[in-house]
């Protein structure tokens, strides 16, 4: 029976390295995982593509207000040069110079503007959309990084569980050795040896299952950050307690900033609607000049030319309500809705801040209690093991003490990891950037 036990232990010793081999190829800390995920993760790259589309949309809107220069020429040697620019939605200037093949030249400069509509609302909207897109990109990236944090600490929790079970297996192996020696000496019964061997086997089975779970958790993390799963990951993050206290000045939630940009946009839309609801009066001013081809008259070269300045005021009057009037009513409601949305967001953020601070405080107390329980469980196990070796306690009593020690260590490390996750959530809730250390 003892040879069989040794064979089982030897087989398990050979199998354990094979079980964890796929995850031992590449070591990563949390900071390295976040950096890799931002560069290689599909989610992060997808967010970057969406931001690129929004950047292109802003460039398209800006181009509508950029100066434009065009040149054309036909087969009769007639050439036309034109420069145009828009200063606002309904204010534009155009300058055209035309030359024909016989030497004729004409110039036209035209300024057309609305007396009351003098903003570039399309550009304002495009800039607001770009500002929101940037903030939503940052927000999406922080959500993605927090999912990496969760996966990382899930794998780390499993790693610590493996360590706990390895210690349990080692303790049961020592207990089995003592039980076998005592049985040979006639100081204990066969039942103690059998029970101890069963307990050791159960611990080894639990260890193998947890190692499999660790391999799966590492694969999920590798897939999330864009690392080939065939290379595998091992985690190098230490498990220690570092208290989170305050957030640096200047942190602000991106959701709040988005709501504020939308409120500013609602104000801009309302201002534009108010301008458009005023009388539609336009001023058009043109300067024209021309010089025809030269000819000789009484031995004198003559070049007929002329110039004029023309101005006109146009007043478009429409009976009844115009579409701008209905827009004005709607946009007043939009402005109030945006103001309420900002207020609600601010209230929600403050509540989430209080919740995370309360959660951190409770976890700190739980960690202190769990640490005391672990110390007592370790001391209790040492006394129980000594009593078992002396034959005072049976294997059943030793198992109870052993299980309590395993549970105490598992609970303590799990609480430490929960606190680590809560610390990262604290950064996120306060409006910081994950990967940057919060204030201590």
pLDDT at 348 over 70: yes
pLDDT tier for residue 344 given thresholds of 50, 70 and 90: very high
pLDDT at 161 over 80: yes
Q: What is the CATH number of domain 2-65+120-279+317-430?
A: 1.20.1600.10
Mean pLDDT score of the chain, rounded to an integer? 82
Strands 91-99 and 105-114: antiparallel
CA dihedral defined by 138, 143, 147, 153, rounded to 10 degrees?
A: 80
DSSP 30-52: HHHHHHHHHHH-HHHHHHHHHHH
Q: Quick one: tokens of 414?
A: 């799990």
Portion of the chain with pLDDT greater than 90, in percent: 41
99-157 residue pLDDT tens:
877 777 788 888 887 777 777 888 888 999 999 999 999 999 999 999 999 999 999 99
Q: How far apart are CA 245 and CA 225, in angstroms?
A: 29
Let me know: does 313 contact 281? Beta carbons within 8 Å: yes
45-95 residue pLDDT tens:
999 999 999 899 888 887 877 778 888 887 777 788 888 777 777 778 888
Q: Quick one: tokens of 96?
A: 């055209």
CA dihedral defined by 131, 137, 138, 144, rounded to 10 degrees?
A: 170
Q: Quick one: tokens of 401?
A: 């003490």
Residues 6 or more apart in contact with residue 67 via CB below 8 angstroms:
83, 84, 85
pTM for this model (two decimals): 0.77
User: What confidence score (pLDDT) does residue 288 get?
Assistant: 80
Let me know: does 381 contact 402? Beta carbons within 8 Å: yes
Distances (CA, A) of 164 to 10, 19, 295, 317, 416: 20, 17, 106, 84, 14
Three-state SS annotation for 348-391: HHHHHHHHHHHHHHHHHHHHHHHHHHHHHHHHHHHHHHHHHHCC
Cβ-count burial 294-317 (b if 16+ within 10 Å, e if not): eeeeeeeeeeeeeeeeeeeeeeee
How many residues in total does the chain contain?
440
User: What confidence score (pLDDT) does residue 100 get?
Assistant: 79
């Amino acid at each position: 029976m003892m040879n069989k036990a040794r064979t089982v232990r030897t087989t398990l010793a050979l199998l354990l390295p094979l079980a964890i081999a796929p995850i031992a190829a590449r070591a990563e800390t949390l900071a390295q995982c976040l950096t890799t995920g931002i560069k290689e993760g599909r989610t992060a790259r997808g967010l970057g593509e969406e931001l690129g589309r929004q950047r292109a949309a802003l460039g398209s809107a800006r181009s509508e207000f950029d100066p434009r220069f065009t040149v054309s020429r036909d087969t009769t040697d007639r050439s036309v040069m034109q420069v145009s620019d828009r200063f606002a939605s309904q204010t534009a200037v155009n300058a055209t110079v035309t030359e024909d093949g016989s030497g004729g030249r004409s110039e036209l400069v035209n300024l057309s503007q609305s007396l009351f509509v003098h903003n570039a609302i399309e550009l304002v909207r495009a800039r607001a959309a770009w500002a929101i897109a940037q903030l939503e990109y940052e927000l999406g990236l922080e959500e993605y990084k927090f999912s990496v944090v969760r996966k990382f600490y899930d794998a780390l929790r499993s790693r610590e569980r493996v360590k706990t079970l390895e210690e349990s297996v080692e303790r049961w192996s020592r207990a089995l050795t003592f039980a076998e020696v005592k049985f040979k000496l006639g100081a204990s019964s066969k039942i103690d040896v059998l029970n101890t061997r069963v307990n050791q086997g159960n611990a080894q089975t639990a260890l193998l299952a947890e190692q499999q779970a660790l391999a799966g958790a590492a694969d999920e993390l590798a897939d999330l950050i864009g690392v080939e799963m065939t290379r595998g990951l091992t985690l190098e993050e230490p498990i220690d307690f570092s208290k989170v206290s305050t957030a640096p000045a200047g942190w602000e939630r991106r959701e709040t900033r988005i709501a504020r940009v939308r409120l500013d946009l609602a104000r801009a839309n309302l201002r534009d609607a108010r301008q458009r609801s005023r009388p539609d009066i336009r001023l058009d001013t043109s300067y024209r000049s021309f010089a025809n081809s030269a000819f000789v008259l009484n031995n004198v070269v003559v070049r007929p030319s002329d110039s004029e300045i023309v101005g006109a005021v146009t007043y478009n009057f429409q009976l009844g309500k115009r579409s701008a009037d209905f827009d004005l009513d709607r946009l007043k409601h939009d402005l109030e809705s945006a103001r309420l949305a900002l207020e609600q967001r601010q209230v929600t953020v403050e509540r989430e801040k209080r919740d995370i601070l309360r959660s951190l405080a409770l976890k700190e107390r739980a960690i202190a209690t769990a640490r005391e329980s672990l110390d007592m469980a370790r001391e209790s196990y040492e006394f129980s093991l000594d009593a078992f070796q002396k034959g005072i306690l049976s294997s059943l009593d030793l198992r109870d003490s052993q299980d309590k020690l395993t549970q105490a260590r598992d609970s303590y490390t799990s609480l430490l990891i929960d606190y680590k996750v809560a610390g990262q959530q604290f950064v996120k809730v306060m409006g910081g950037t994950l990967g940057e250390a919060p204030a201590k």
